[in-house]
Amino acid sequence: MYNRVLVANRGEIALRIISTLQDHGIEAIVTASDPDMTGKPARVADGILHLPGESALNTYLDIPLIVDKAKDLGIQAVHPGYGFLAENSEFAKAVIKAKIDFIGPTPDQMIKFGDKIQARNIAIKTDTPLIPGTIEILSHEELLEESKIIGFPLLIKASAGGGGRGIRFVNSFEEMEEQIALAKSEAKLAFNDDRIYIEKFIPHSRHVEVQILGNGDEILHFGERDCTMQRKNQKLIEEAPAPTISRKTVKEIHNSAVELAMGVKYQNAGTVEFLYDQAEKKYYFLEVNARIQVEHPVTEMITGEDLIWRQLQVSAGLDLDISQENIRFKGHAIEARIYAENAYKNFTPSPGRINRISHPIGAGVRVDSAVDDGCEITPFYDPMISKLIVHAHNRDAAIHKLATTLDNYLVTGVHTTIPYISEIVRGDAFKSGDYHTKSLDNVSIEIPDDVELFARAIAAFSLKGKPKTVVNSVSGVSRWKTSFWPRGDEL
Comparing CB distances to ligand ADP, the nearer of 161 and 419 is 161
102 strand-pairing partners: 78
**Least distance to ligand ADP, CB of residue 11, Å:** 9
Contact (CB, 8 A) for 408 and 351: no
Q: Which of residues 381-400 bind ligand ADP (CB under 6 A)?
A: 382
| Chain mean position to CA 196 | 23
Comparing CB distances to ligand ADP, the nearer of 197 and 461 is 197
Q: Which stretch binds ligand ADP (CB under 6 A): 282-290, 320-328, 347-355, 391-399?
A: 282-290
Contact (CB, 8 A) for 396 and 430: no
Out of 293, 303, 350, 439, which residue is the one contacting ligand ADP (CB under 6 A)? 293
| HSE-CB for 45 with a 13 A CA cutoff | 32
295 forms part of the interface with ligand ADP (CB under 6 A): yes
10 forms part of the interface with ligand ADP (CB under 6 A): no
Beta strands in 56-121 (DSSP E): 77-79, 101-102
By CB neighbour count within 10 A (0-12 exposed, 13-18 middle, 19+ buried), where does 384 fall?
A: buried
Binding mask 67-96 for ligand ADP (x = CB under 6 A): ---------------xx-------------
Q: Which of Mg ion, ligand ADP, none interacts with 138 (beta carbon under 5 to 8 A by kind)?
A: none
Nearest to 112 by CA among 375, 290, 232: 290
The site that binds Mg ion (CB under 5 A) totals a number of residues, namely 1
Comparing CB distances to ligand ADP, the nearer of 288 and 474 is 288
**Least distance to ligand ADP, CB of residue 22, Å:** 23
Q: Which stretch binds ligand ADP (CB under 6 A): 163-171, 254-262, 388-396, 418-426?
A: 163-171
Q: Which of residues 114-143 bind ligand ADP (CB under 6 A)?
A: 131
Considering the candidates 120, 291, 366, 456, report the single residue annotated as catalytic. Answer: 291
Contact (CB, 8 A) for 359 and 368: no
164 forms part of the interface with ligand ADP (CB under 6 A): yes
4 annotated active-site:
no
| Chain mean position to CA 184 | 25
Residues 6+ apart with CB under 8 A from 442: none
284 strand-pairing partners: 275
Distance CA 57, CA 68 (A): 17
Q: What is the secondary structure of 451-488 as a DSSP string? A: HHHHHHHHHHHHHH---TTT-S-SS-GGGS-GGGS--G
> Which residue has its beta carbon closest to ligand ADP?
162
Q: What is the secondary structure of 123-153 as a DSSP string? A: HHHTT--B-SB--S---HHHHHHHHHHH-SS
Comparing CB distances to ligand ADP, the nearer of 186 and 199 is 199
Q: Which of residues 270-289 bind Mg ion (CB under 5 A)?
A: 273
Q: Which of Mg ion, ligand ADP, none interacts with 82 (beta carbon under 5 to 8 A by kind)?
A: ligand ADP
The one-letter amino acid at 183:
A
**Least distance to Mg ion, CB of residue 233, Å:** 8
Q: 188-217: b or e for each residue (b if 16 or more CB lie within 10 Å)? A: eebbeebbbbbbbbbeebbbbbbbbbbbee
**Least distance to ligand ADP, CB of residue 110, Å:** 12
Angle between helices 418-426 and 395-407 (to 10 degrees): 150
Q: Which stretch binds ligand ADP (CB under 6 A): 144-152, 281-289, 297-305, 461-469?
A: 281-289
Out of 2, 102, 113, 201, which residue is the one contacting ligand ADP (CB under 6 A)? 201
**Site for Mg ion, rule CB under 5 A:** 273
**Site for ligand ADP, rule CB under 6 A:** 82-83, 131, 155, 161-164, 167, 199-202, 205, 207, 230, 233-235, 273, 275, 286-287, 289, 293-295, 382, 437
By annotation, the residues acting in catalysis are 291
